[in-house]
Structure 1
Amino acid sequence: MTADSQGFATRAIHAGQPADPTTGAVVTPIYATSTYLQDAVGQMRNGYEYSRTKNPTRRALEECLAALEEGRHGFAFASGLAAEDTLLRAVCSPGDHVVIPDDAYGGTFRLFDKVASRWGLSHTPARISDVAAVRAAMTPETKLVWVETPTNPLLGIADIAALAQVAHSAGALLVVDNTFASPYLQQPLLLGADVVVHSTTKYLGGHSDVVGGAVIVNDDGLAGELAFHSNSIGAVSGPFDAWLTLRGAKTLAVRMERHSDNAERIVEWLSQREEISDILYPGLGTHPGHDIAAKQMSRFGGMVSFRMRAGERAAVDVCNSTRLFTLGESLGGVESLIEHPGRMTHASTAGSALEVPGDLVRLSVGIEDIEDLVADLAQAFDG
């Protein structure tokens, strides 16, 4: 059986991770080295000369991530934003333009609005669930169409195949942030995307103990640019961080099933609460992106957002009242988290076109016993 024919869980455990040839260790070692012996001047062993350029532990992670996304080339970075920044510098030039989601992750918006704009990269927010709106936002200078699906924090859904056609017809690339879905639930490259980005801090790492990012592509030329800029900028994953992420990825399949199971039960419970005006979850038949999500995702994931009928104060009170759901930023770990996006992860969007509603609460549903999670929400709502 070849790696190409192996199932997802098998690839997560084995891709890029053969037994160590020296000792037979079944777990990839942490290669905590900065430099490597050269057999003669300029004569490297297996291409290793300096760990900013290439490290065996990081390489194992990169090969595994590429295999999980059904891609050819993977690159691991020190954070999701480091991955995004390196991608922008590898692909874009001053004067170029990018279409971004009108409810993008706050850190991504800040990167475009406060950092990339200073070196001449412009952007236009668009409702990525509306193909016509994305098309209308494009200009002759558009180099990238950048989407999250589901989006953070409003759980909007983009039709990846349709947006790939829109981007390609204008000579642009489609970038999909696949952090919320993870490669277990969705594989954008198979749907026509050119680039997949991840905050591997989230579901891929899965244990809230490491920060990282990734970029996966198929095109050899683009991979060459990414390799050059990754080495030149240097925001790469360290060997211990790569090892932790690789360890987390091994259990991604079983974790995502439990995250999805629990999220569905939470949504069912939330739907019975009169305090809530809207539940944002693509698994609901009433969600405007449900049909597309059902087509391009295997399940609907562990992220749930909802809006409080009584407004922002009520949303903040719920966030402050849970005991098992930890009040904290980030997502995708085995433990459940709750947050108020407007005051926490998306504070950078305040006053912009991407400002999120003050009555919004976001849950990252973990893998604890569902009865305990429901009981915790109940006591938070009932006071």
Structure 2
Amino acid sequence: MKLSTKLIHAGVEPDPSTGAIMTPIYQTSTYVQSAPGVHKGYEYARSQNPTRAALEAALAQIENGRHGLCFSSGVAASDAVLRLLVPGDEVIACNDLYGGTYRLFTKIFEKTGIRFHFVNMQEAEAIRPYINAKTRLIWAETPTNPLMNIVDIEALASIAKEKRILLCVDNTFASPYLQNPLDLGADIVLHSATKYLGGHSDVIHGCLVMNDDELREKLYFVQKSCGAVPGPQDCFLVLRGLKTLHVRMDRHCINGEVIAHWLRSHPKVGKVYWCGFQDHPGYAIARKQMRGFGGMMSFTLKDDSLEAAKKVLSSTRLLALAESLGGVESLINHPASMTHASIPREERLKNGLTDSLIRLSIGIEDVDDLKADLSEAIG
């Protein structure tokens, strides 16, 4: 079955009681049992919910995995993966990653005795010096947030399997429509489903997909025991979003390519970070492991000052200044003070994330209107 068809039909069966074609929202906290311990597979909504089960099945299918697990946010999904570790374990993570993930690692889990190494993963072999007997997890984003660096998932997976280390890939920026990390050897794929999967900026949600049965049981135990689960309404909204993911992503990619090239030709724009440029350092790998280059990008101005960046950030009309990404509407963002503010400035600068960097999430509006809006803001 082709992915476009999977997105519409995966995990969805007509409601057995009414024949409803859309998955019902099972708004219940508990389920009646015919006798103690005798039930129809559902006991308590923290452990199971039919709407959530449908979404978990759908997410597994569209990522070509066997098991899906849903969480109340992308950070909650990340938290669940880290709960597989014990004090003394070590993690190798990419150095250019979402600020909320960095905060979770350094402010929460470092206190438990887990050690993190933040490494430039544009060359997979760069992680080898950090691998030791305590290394339990490799954590990668690709494309990275916000500098759009590309990580070779297949190369990382080869090293991870050689050393018997778990590889988790945050696939939020690409979505399952553009990239499937499990097919490339990853053990776990993570999404902030708030973004492209939901697609309409109306839900907070996260998910994990994996193939290994034992790994699924461990992560399900965390999901059930720690309780960071989404409600049925949230699951319904993501199920609805999945049905148009392919249509939206096609438009995100088309618009993203136009805006990236337009920005690069603008006389007041400095550097543009977008993995679809043929001279991008990771272009060959991106072309190999992705089916498109997406609508995420960042740029700087030739007047590389915070004041100039703030003027642009506050001057757009269609591109809303807001956190998040992946919705149908275009967003403009200042990573240094918004999504990545939790990363110390010296760490940000060392990785190339300057105070003047501007990040764009290009939506599905008419691209000429987006160009006009950016043109007026940049001046």
TM-score bracket relative to the smaller structure: over 0.9
Task: Please say if residues 330 and 361 of structure 2, whose CA atoms lie closer than 8 Å, have aligned partners that are also in contact.
Answer: yes
Summarize the alignment of residues 1-383 of structure 1 with structure 2, pairs less than 5 Å apart: 6-45=1-40, 47-89=41-83, 91-311=84-304, 312-355=306-349, 356-382=353-379
Q: In 2, distance between residues paired with 1:283 and 1:173?
A: 29
Residues 300-349 of structure 1: CA deviation (Å, up to 9, x unaligned): 01101112221222222111111100000100000000011011110001
Q: Could you say what secondary structure the match of 1:271 adopts?
A: helix
Aligned to 1:3: none
Residues 335-380 of structure 1: CA deviation (Å, up to 9, x unaligned): 0000110111100012352452112110000000011000000000
Task: Please say if residues 26 and 51 of structure 2, whose CA atoms lie closer than 8 Å, have aligned partners that are also in contact.
Answer: yes
Residues 47-103 of structure 1: CA deviation (Å, up to 9, x unaligned): 1000000000001110000001000000000000000101110x2111101111111
Task: Please say if residues 103 and 152 of structure 1, whose CA atoms lie closer than 8 Å, have aligned partners that are also in contact.
Answer: yes
Q: Could you say what secondary structure the match of 1:265 adopts?
A: helix
- RMSD over equivalenced CA pairs, Å: 0.9
Q: Could you say what secondary structure the match of 2:42 adopts?
A: coil
Instruction: Identify which range, 52-61 or 276-285, moves more after superposition.
Output: 276-285
Q: Could you say what secondary structure the match of 2:314 adopts?
A: helix
Q: In 2, distance between residues paired with 1:99 and 1:275?
A: 38
Q: What's the offset of the Cα at 1:274?
A: 2.3
Q: In 2, distance between residues paired with 1:171 and 1:121?
A: 18
Q: In 2, distance between residues paired with 1:313 and 1:285?
A: 31
Query: Given residue 13 of structure 2, which amino acid in structure 1 is its aligned partner?
Result: P
Query: Given residue 220 of structure 2, which amino acid in structure 1 is its aligned partner?
Result: A
Instruction: Identify which range, 268-277 or 119-128, moves more after superposition.
Output: 268-277
Quote the sequence identity (%): 53
Unaligned runs of 5+ in 1: 1-5
Residues 264-321 of structure 1: CA deviation (Å, up to 9, x unaligned): 0001111111222211111001110000000000000110111222122222211111
Task: Please say if residues 206 and 248 of structure 1, whose CA atoms lie closer than 8 Å, have aligned partners that are also in contact.
Answer: yes
Q: Could you say what secondary structure the match of 2:347 adopts?
A: coil
Task: Please say if residues 197 and 214 of structure 1, whose CA atoms lie closer than 8 Å, have aligned partners that are also in contact.
Answer: yes
Task: Please say if residues 36 and 49 of structure 1, whose CA atoms lie closer than 8 Å, have aligned partners that are also in contact.
Answer: yes
Q: In 2, distance between residues paired with 1:107 and 1:190?
A: 27
Residues 95-146 of structure 1: CA deviation (Å, up to 9, x unaligned): 1011111111000000000001111111000011121222222232111110
**Count of residue pairs the alignment pairs up:** 375
Query: Given residue 363 of structure 1, which amino acid in structure 2 is its aligned partner?
Result: L
Q: In 2, distance between residues paired with 1:78 and 1:164?
A: 28
Q: Could you say what secondary structure the match of 1:241 adopts?
A: helix
Q: Could you say what secondary structure the match of 1:306 adopts?
A: strand
Task: Please say if residues 309 and 359 of structure 1, whose CA atoms lie closer than 8 Å, have aligned partners that are also in contact.
Answer: no
* TM-score (normalizing by structure 1): 0.96
Q: In 2, distance between residues paired with 1:214 and 1:232?
A: 16
Q: In 2, distance between residues paired with 1:131 and 1:314?
A: 36
Q: In 1, distance between residues paired with 2:124 and 2:203?
A: 35
Q: Could you say what secondary structure the match of 2:208 adopts?
A: strand
Task: Please say if residues 342 and 350 of structure 1, whose CA atoms lie closer than 8 Å, have aligned partners that are also in contact.
Answer: no
Moved beyond 4 Å, runs of 4+: none
Q: In 1, distance between residues paired with 2:28 and 2:195?
A: 26
Query: Given residue 203 of structure 1, which amino acid in structure 2 is its aligned partner?
Result: Y
Task: Please say if residues 74 and 191 of structure 2, whose CA atoms lie closer than 8 Å, have aligned partners that are also in contact.
Answer: yes
Instruction: Identify which range, 164-173 or 51-60, moves more after superposition.
Output: 164-173
Q: Could you say what secondary structure the match of 1:347 adopts?
A: coil
Instruction: Identify which range, 6-15 or 211-220, moves more after superposition.
Output: 6-15
Q: In 2, distance between residues paired with 1:274 and 1:82?
A: 42
Instruction: Identify which range, 256-265 or 343-352, moves more after superposition.
Output: 343-352
Query: Given residue 261 of structure 1, which amino acid in structure 2 is its aligned partner?
Result: I
Task: Please say if residues 102 and 354 of structure 1, whose CA atoms lie closer than 8 Å, have aligned partners that are also in contact.
Answer: no
